[in-house]
Structure 1
Amino acid sequence: MLTFIHCCAWARRANMGCLGLFALLTLQCFQWTTAPAAEEVSWTYYGLVGQSEWSQYFPDCAGTSQSPVDVITTQTKYDPNLTPLTPLGYSQHGNKPFTMYNSGHTVVIELPEWMGIGGLPWLFTAVQMHLHWGSGGPSHGGSEHTINGLSADAELHVVHYNSELYPNVSTAMTQSDGLAVLGILIVTGEETNAAFNNILNYLSRIRHADQKVFIPAFDVQTLLPTDLGRYYRYNGSLTTPPCYQSVTWTVFNERVQISKAQLLKLETILYSSKAKDADRMLLQDNYRATQPINHRVAFASFSAESGKELSSGEVTAIVIGVMCGCVGLAVIVRFIVKTIRTKEPEKERKEKTQDVALKPTPEAEKREEPSPSPQTEL
């Protein structure tokens, strides 16, 4: 490092006084100490470095292809080339436990590298999955994506990276085709979703930020909707800083249901603060507001107008309905035919009885024969 005297000598040659150089160095030092690197910024959803301030520290958060978005179904474009997605190895969890931790922003479950997703232009390998939720219970919002302005109670994201083109997720996340994320909207009902208990039952062990726990491995596909063929597809970004615009989003049309008690557990157990912190802060409302879709088009794998593309559940319901209708119609026809056949013999018997009653007997015919008229003499 140059001494201040040497710097002054350099400054004189550059027509800059020592005082000016001192001011310049002081300003530079001030900038170094007051402008931390983006990686060191502790961002939040609400507060000093909340959503409205993200772009000041993470420039990509001000991009024109940000996520999440509100999917307006009437503005989506049907793409017949969007085939059903195929989970690869989701059910092959093996005996090795999953790692789950509290990041201070959400609950994260790391996924083994043999899991992936098919049905995209490249092979994408699973990295992790996490959740977003609200704070007001059912019907108060909590999902990041919305459909026609309506939000769900929570949302599950399953993150994959393009392992065909990039060596790791760190490299892939900075590339436009680097990531593929599945978005599963979650609503509440009366029945408990046993699959989500594989996560929720262990939240109490990671109540504070940076805490980690090993949980039994389970079939990740049980968390997904049953219909993987109806979804919306668009190009977007990470929904948290650094907001890289590198995500191919797949938001499923079918919602997954959990119970009200399960949602309450998700909303009230975790803290965004660390165990050593004096003030505990509940981890709630960890969802980003929807972003302008701008120039982008959201594609749909099904035609909402024509209704030609039906889910497997809808097809099953229609088939069962048609079969029940056919059986019912057959029973009615059989009943009518049987009734007609039963009435025909009765009608014939009545007609025969009437014929017998109307036909005169031989004795009656004799009595009714007219007596011969008297002969006329000639």
Structure 2
Amino acid sequence: MDSLGLFILLMLLCSQWTAVPAAEETTWTYTGLMGQSEWPQYFPDCGGTSQSPVDVATTQTKYDPSLIPLTPLGYSQHGNRPFTLYNNGHTAMIELPEWMGLGGLPWLFSAVQMHLHWGSGGPSHGGGEHTINGLSADAELHVVHYNSELYPNMSAAMTQRDGLAVLGILIVTGEETNPAFNNILNYLSRIRHADQKVLIPAFDVQSLLPKDLGRYYRYNGSLTTPPCYQSVIWTLFHERVQISKAQLLKMETILYSSKAEDRDQMLLQDNYRVTQPLNHRVVFASFSAESGKELSSGEVTAIVIGVMCGCVGLAVIIRFIVKTIRMKEPEKVKEQKQDMALNSTSAAEREKSPLPSLQTEP
């Protein structure tokens, strides 16, 4: 009877161990049975208090004058070795050489990879992960680095609080094509299915970044995908980069999250995590509220047109005033001449008229 009880107990323990698969073996998704709401069950850090992405409420950020502009190291010196573009079933990822790095942080960080997040509804339907004042971008680029000054590799660094540094670049759509992003998008058709890889020509990674690297938001957060380690120093740039609507459409419709041999083919879409609670964390800004005001192209155009209209209006007014003055001056001169003529005539007439004779008394 004791042996039977021990056997039953062992069976129960085995069933408990196998009921929840190991985190390393778990295939997670953004929606469905293994979607975002279920991540904490299999990846405990995903339920932590310092998760990413977050919404940046600009009125609640804190200006930190010690935040200096970031310095990409070797981003533009890509060399001749090709990059590896990889569909991992969750995103399109490019592996980066370790000699690329990032300066402007407390430690030296070496590049690991970069990847994209996007939606499914085209422009203005979301797809970026971080939001600013509740507004989402159409897509988002992440460039991942590990702390190579303190840790030997990515695996060792990713579990440490100061182990990773990720650049977040918000992407919006416009009319013009962004040639830099075609270095990635033009090759997506070669990795349409999960687990497919392709070598692509190396290119200037810095061309993907905003021109202004001095204005950004900084906070401590996590990886935005499982295992959601809370080890990321986030830098979210204030300036957005722009791609065309056609480029966004290609990003949203060309890849599959399923493998080539799978019967059910599923498009790789909406691969972004919803924003997480800030939980008393502070988001710092490298610029003050006054200097951080950025005008849109429409606002700039409106201001330029307004200034031009104002100048034209002022010129018209000045011209009208000058013309009026000039019109009045001849009249005044004419009146003065007429007065002078009248005065001259009166004087002449007085000179010609005889003086009255003096009468003497008899």
Deviations 1:105-154 (A, max 9, x none): 00001112222222211111111110011111111111111112221111
Separation of aligned partners in 1, 2:264 and 2:247: 26
Equivalent residue of 2:34, what SS?
coil
Q: In structure 2, what is the equivalent of residue 368 of structure 1?
A: 352
- Would the aligned equivalents of 2:190 and 2:198 in 1 still touch at CA under 8 Å? yes
- Would the aligned equivalents of 1:98 and 1:215 in 2 still touch at CA under 8 Å? yes
Q: In structure 1, what is the equivalent of residue 218 of structure 2?
A: 233
Closer/same/farther in 2, CA of residues 149 and 309 from structure 1, 3 Å limit: closer
- Would the aligned equivalents of 2:50 and 2:221 in 1 still touch at CA under 8 Å? yes
**Residue-pair matches, total:** 361
- Would the aligned equivalents of 2:126 and 2:139 in 1 still touch at CA under 8 Å? yes
Deviation for aligned residue 1:25: 3.4
- The amino acid that maps onto 1:293 is L
Deviation for aligned residue 1:320: 8.8
TM alignment of 1:333-352, pairs within 5 A = 350=334
Closer/same/farther in 2, CA of residues 326 and 30 from structure 1, 3 Å limit: closer
Separation of aligned partners in 2, 1:366 and 1:55: 118
Deviation for aligned residue 1:92: 1.2
Separation of aligned partners in 1, 2:124 and 2:325: 60
Separation of aligned partners in 2, 1:295 and 1:172: 25
Separation of aligned partners in 2, 1:335 and 1:63: 69
Closer/same/farther in 2, CA of residues 104 and 91 from structure 1, 3 Å limit: same
| Equivalent in 78, 97, 100 of residue 115 of structure 1 | 100
| Equivalent in 123, 126, 135 of residue 150 of structure 1 | 135
- The amino acid that maps onto 2:91 is T
Give the superposed CA RMSD: 3.5
Same amino acid, percent of matched pairs: 73
Q: In structure 1, what is the equivalent of residue 182 of structure 2?
A: 197
Separation of aligned partners in 1, 2:309 and 2:64: 34
Q: In structure 1, what is the equivalent of residue 124 of structure 2?
A: 139
Separation of aligned partners in 2, 1:52 and 1:348: 88
Deviation for aligned residue 1:22: 2.3
Higher mean C-alpha deviation, range 262-271 or range 89-98: 89-98
Q: Which structure has the larger Rg over C-alpha atoms? A: 1
Deviation for aligned residue 1:346: 5.5
Q: In structure 1, what is the equivalent of residue 205 of structure 2?
A: 220
- Give me the TM-score of the superposition, normalised by structure 2: 0.87
Deviations 1:50-102 (A, max 9, x none): 11111111111111111111112222222222222222221111222111110
Higher mean C-alpha deviation, range 238-247 or range 347-356: 347-356
Separation of aligned partners in 2, 1:72 and 1:308: 13
- Give me the TM-score of the superposition, normalised by structure 1: 0.83
Equivalent residue of 1:264, what SS?
helix
Q: In structure 1, what is the equivalent of residue 287 of structure 2?
A: 302
| Equivalent in 219, 239, 255 of residue 254 of structure 1 | 239
Q: In structure 2, what is the equivalent of residue 162 of structure 1?
A: 147
Higher mean C-alpha deviation, range 30-39 or range 294-303: 30-39
Separation of aligned partners in 1, 2:122 and 2:314: 49
Q: In structure 2, what is the equivalent of residue 270 of structure 1?
A: 255
Closer/same/farther in 2, CA of residues 216 and 176 from structure 1, 3 Å limit: same
- Would the aligned equivalents of 2:20 and 2:42 in 1 still touch at CA under 8 Å? no
- The amino acid that maps onto 2:114 is M
Separation of aligned partners in 2, 1:326 and 1:117: 46
Deviation for aligned residue 1:290: 1.1
Higher mean C-alpha deviation, range 359-368 or range 147-156: 359-368
Q: In structure 2, what is the equivalent of residue 281 of structure 1?
A: 266
Separation of aligned partners in 1, 2:269 and 2:10: 44
